[in-house]
Amino acid sequence: MLIDDVNKNVLSNKQLNVTSISSLDSFNTKDDYGLNFSRSSSYNSADADVQLLNNGDSKNSSNATTNAFSTQNYNSTNGYGLINGAAAVAKATGQNTFGDVPNLGGNNWGADLVKAPEVWAQGYTGKGVVVAVVDTGVDYNHEDLRNNIWTNAKEIAGNGIDDDGNGYIDDNYGWNFNDKNNNTLDKNGHGTHVSGTIAGENNNYGVTGIAYDAKIMPVKVLNDSGSGSYSSISKGIRYAVDNGANVINLSLGGASSNSSLESAIDYASSKGVIVVMAAGNDGESSPDYPARYAYKSGIAVGAVDKNNNMPDFSNRSGADEIAYVTAPGVKVYSSVPNNQYATYNGTSMATPHVAGVVALMLSANSSLTDAQVRQIVTETAGNSTQTTSSSLNLSNVSSLAKQVIADTAIDDTQATISNFNISNVSSLAKEVMSDDNLLTIGAQTANYLTLQTISSFNTYDVGDDNKNENNPDFWKSLEGMQKQMDQYRKFLGIA
């Protein structure tokens, strides 16, 4: 029987469906279900109870410059845009993007939107990949999940002995870090819903997961009402890494940073495990934690509806560049305990779509590192402007012009402007004018560099030592750039 959160009045005033936990849609009950799974639960201190995420000041991530991402494809609202499973898996295998296939429709619209069927048609279904769901637990007896549940083959069930010496007795179905025992069954529903989106069986009923042949590792870090601590979550992440997980789904979060949590995510990355994190359901301009750590490790995920529109509740990507993509997170149909199904809203629901795509990538190419997965996912997402003809990461003239202008108008007193920016203008112009890039830049973008734009350089007082009469080389370089751009505009027929 279909359980609809709306009918059960479990939607929050933000209309997120949270009847579930407190992990990004699940740490409290304010925004996702009656718990918060998509508001990224928030913890007040290292071991404080996880609560709904509020704004929380974020530790920022200006380190984005260390990433191999293309900033031209990133914006502060939806990051790199909608994840494209077909393009990502194709790139992971050194191929062009896979051809379109008919949509499945119905409750499988989310799989259609992320182009999972195109990947399945190529034979990649997540087989051999383990995805840890670090959440409220998992109903591993569910009809749509029971054949896709990871079990600890090194442990003998019920003998009261830590057979594999990993520090956990009888952890056949993972471990419960909230209650410190081996009972990982889900009484909340959030973790089971997430699991169905990732690896629901392809059996012609219920829900078909994005990576329907992957295995789900249950790791319970939140209590039955969807609350938990950073300490439990950090331990859960390390457990997943040490026991064979390839991907970790974190549909949870909090408002503040935490060194133990950050360290655990860094540990996963160092071991080649990709952590996928919900951005949060606060409707804020930047993600909650741990999603904000995606400036260096893992992937942050925001929500969109079936028309690829971002709902008000989804936290945006923020001005500081991070590995942030979007995925279906509105009215997502999936499994809940006791062989039932329900429709939920939240970034907690978007996150497993991305975790599933990552599982497909790893089933196609198991050697991919965290850094490689992050780069491929962002480069192939919806905002990508890459073309096969260009080897340079320059997507448009506008961004280059803005870069030159910003670098040129640094400060009235900086005499370095004539030395630094003249070379920048020249080299950037040459790159723009290269044969490859001429083919990739549109006429609308070319219109950005007009005579008036170039002339605006004259409005900046760059100091007596750099004025026209004392530094003719500076203006000569600008005139040269103008001529190059005039040639370019003629080439495009917009002179």
Catalogue the active-site residues: 135, 190, 348
Provide DSSP, 393-452: S---HHHHHHHHHHHHTS-TT-TTHHHHHHHHHHHHHHHHTSHHHHHH--HHHHTTS-HH
Q: For 215, list phi and psi in degrees, rounded to 5.
A: -110, 140
Length of the chain measured in residues:
495
The sign of the dihedral angle between the CA atoms of 336, 269, 179, 258 is negative
Q: Using an 8 Å Cβ cutoff, are 492 and 397 in contact?
A: no
- Give the amino acid at 275: V
Report CA-CA distances (Å) from 474 to 328, 414, 484: 51, 14, 16
With b meaning 16 or more CB within 10 Å and e meaning fewer, what string describes 261-288? bbebbbbbbeebbbbbbbbbbbbbebbb
Q: Print the SS3 string covering 67-105.
A: CCCCHHHCECCCECCECCHHHHHHHHCCCCCCCCCCCCC
Tell me if the bond preceding 290 is cis, omega within 30° of 0: yes
> What is the Cα–Cα distance from 89 to 458, expressed in whole angstroms?
49
Place of tokens 């609809």: 4
Closest CA to 17 of 347, 342, 344: 344
Helix (H) or strand (E) holding 360: helix 347-364
Say how many C-beta atoms besides its own lie within 10 A of residue 157's C-beta: 12
> What is the Cα–Cα distance from 345 to 327, expressed in whole angstroms?
12
Return the C-alpha torsion angle 380, 388, 100, 126, nearest 10.
Answer: -50
